Amino acid sequence: MPERILVVDDDKEINRLVTSYLQKSGYEVLPAHNGETALHILRREKPNLIVLDLMLPDRDGWDITRIIRSDDTLRALPIIMLTARVDDTDKIVGLELGADDYITKPFNPREVVARVRALLRRSHLERTTQTSPIFVVGALKLDTGQRTLWRNDEPVELTPTEYDLLCALMESPGYAFTRDELLEKSMGYAFAGMGRTLDSHIKNLRRKIEPNPRKPTYIQTIYGVGYKLTAQNKAT
C-alpha cells in the first residue's frame, strides 16, 4: 500500500499543489485545512508523515507539533514544516519543538517531494535495519535497536532528526563531517540554505547531552568545515 502523507495548509491552492505532486509520486495524500481536522486525521488514520503549515486559522503548527511529540502513539511521526515566515527565530522554535525539517514559502514542490521521500526512507531503514549496535561515548549510551539515548543512566528524549544526527556522529567518532555530509548521512539530503537548520539541531542536541552546552565536550564545531564527535567511541 502507498505511504500516506497528511498535508495541512489553509491555503487551498498550496494544499492542492503539494497534494498533486505527492500523488504523482505515488503517495496517498490526506489533505486538511485547519489544525483540528489535522489532529482528527492524525489519530484516526495514522499517516506516515505530516507536511504542516505553521500559520493555521485555529491551532498553529507549533501547537500541533507539541501535541505530536508528547503523544506516545505519534511521537515518531516525521514532521516537515511549511511557512511563509522567514524569521530564523520561527524556524528555530519549530525545530526545538521537534520538527524534522523546515521549508520556506515560496518553494519548489519537487523539493517538498524529495524531502518527503528522504524522510520516509530514513524511517523505513530504521524499522528494517538488521544490526542494532549500542554506542557508548563518555556518559552517553545510544541503543540503536531501541532508538534510545541515556546520559549518566538517565533517559534523554530526542526528536527523530536529533537521534539520526547523534547516531551519525557516534558511528564515526573523531571524523570531521562537513555540513553537507552530516545532512546527507542523517537526513538523506542536503539543499542550499540548510546549514542554519543543521546548526539549530546541533544546538538542541548540545542542550540535551552536554554538561555545559556553552563549552561542549562531545560535539565540537570545526570552523569552516562542520562538526565532529570528540570522545572515544565503543560499540557493543
Predicted TM-score of the model (pTM) = 0.64
CA nearest 48: which of 160, 129, 162, 158?
A: 160
**How do residues 133-165 score in pLDDT, each as one tens digit?**
888 888 999 998 888 899 998 999 888 888 889
> Mean of the pLDDT values across residues 169-191?
82
Q: Are 209 and 151 in contact (CB under 8 A)?
A: yes
Residue (of 234, 145, 130, 126) closest to 188 by Cα position = 126
pLDDT at 233: 46
Q: What is the pLDDT averaged over residues 43-51?
A: 94
**Orientation of helix 160-171 relative to helix 179-187, angle to 10°:** 120
pLDDT band at 190 (very low <50, low <70, confident <90, very high): low
